[in-house]
Amino acid sequence: MSGIRFFNCFMKFSYLLFKSHLEEDEKIFEILHRHSYVYFRDSFKTFFFGIIIPVLGFLVFPQLLVVFALWGIIGFVGMIYHFFDWYFDVWIVTNLGVIDIEVNGMFDKNAKRVEYTAIDALGYKVKGVIATLLNFGDVTIDTMGTHMSLVLKEASHPKSIEKLIVQYQEKFVEDSSFHDHEALKDMLAGMIAYHAKNNKIEKKRK
């Protein structure tokens, strides 16, 4: 039960973070990140030189507390920077399509949107020993009528992501077909009712 509550809280928090990228009445189904290995790989140098070294330095030279404290703070800020760069570089899968958000630093963010109706092809690529062992790779969405492609690099479980998006796309098509069918039925029913009413009026006049 606690796991469900945590998931619900996480989705609400994520919705607030990515709300600005959503259309009206658009719902978030999935938030797809790069593999956590990417974060640890990219932040390892910052962690070692920005956290470990000043801690060891303080243990050896405690009289330089201020210097090592400032050094550690800078390292901690660097770790936060790497985390935000990892966390906000995502695909947001919604009931309407896929939103690709790319972050390059604190003040450089790009967003692209592909509706399910515009998806032409889906594919993924796993390359390298580490990627194979940890199961991460690049997932690509090609669009119809344009040369634009969305790529989520080093995504966790790329094959599962491909299947997931296909499932949501099929559901979107089914729901759209159902709504179109219902709209057609309502239109035909309205036309029949209109003609029936007019026929009654014509008969009364005669």
* Cα–Cα distance, 112 to 89 (Å, whole number): 12
pLDDT at 63 over 80: yes
Instruction: Give the other-Cβ count within 10 Å of 52's Cβ.
Output: 12
Number of domains in the chain: 1
pLDDT of residue 40: 93
Task: Identify the pLDDT of residue 148.
Answer: 79
For residue 47, the model assigns a pLDDT of 95
Q: What domain range includes position 42?
A: 35-88
pLDDT in tens, 1-15: 455 565 556 556 667
Instruction: For the beta carbon of residue 66, count every other beta carbon within 10 angstroms.
Output: 8
Whether 59 is in a domain gets the answer: yes
Instruction: Specify which of 5-19, 86-100, 179-193 reaches the highest per-range mean pLDDT.
Output: 86-100
Long-range contacts from 179-187, C-beta under 8 angstroms, 24+ separation: none
Q: Considering only 51-55, 135-139, 152-156, 198-202, which range has the smallest mean pLDDT?
A: 198-202
Phi, psi of 143 (to 5 degrees): -105, 155
Say if residues 78 and 48 touch (Cβ distance below 8 Å). no
Return the pLDDT at 17.
76
Residue 88 pLDDT exceeds 70: yes
Residue 1 lies in a domain: no
Query: Who has greater pLDDT, 104 or 157?
Result: 157
The structure's pTM equals 0.73
The answer to whether residue 51 is domain-embedded is: yes
Residue 66, domain member (yes or no): yes
> Does 69 fall in a domain?
yes
The pLDDT tens digits for 126-140 are 999 999 999 999 999
> Do 156 and 136 meet the contact criterion of CB atoms below 8 Å apart?
yes
The mean per-residue pLDDT over the stretch 23-31 comes to 86
Please give the average per-residue pLDDT across 163-171, as a whole number. 91
pLDDT tier at 18 (50, 70, 90 boundaries)?
A: confident
| Residue 80 domain flag | yes
| pLDDT value at 98 more than 90 | yes
Residue 105 lies in a domain: no
Q: Which residues contact 164 (CB under 8 A, 6 or more apart)?
A: 30, 93
> What average pLDDT is seen over the chain?
81
Place of tokens 């796993």: 126
At residue 34 the predicted structure's pLDDT band, cuts being 50, 70 and 90, is very high
Most confident of 105-114, 156-165, 189-198: 156-165
Closest by CA to 94, choosing from 188, 33, 165, is: 165
For tokens 């973070």, what's the residue?
17
Is a pLDDT exceeding 90 seen at residue 77? yes
**What's the rounded mean pLDDT across residues 185-190?**
47
Q: Would residue 70 count as lying in a domain?
A: yes
Looking at residue 22, its pLDDT comes to: 84
Q: Quick one: tokens of 136? A: 């991460």
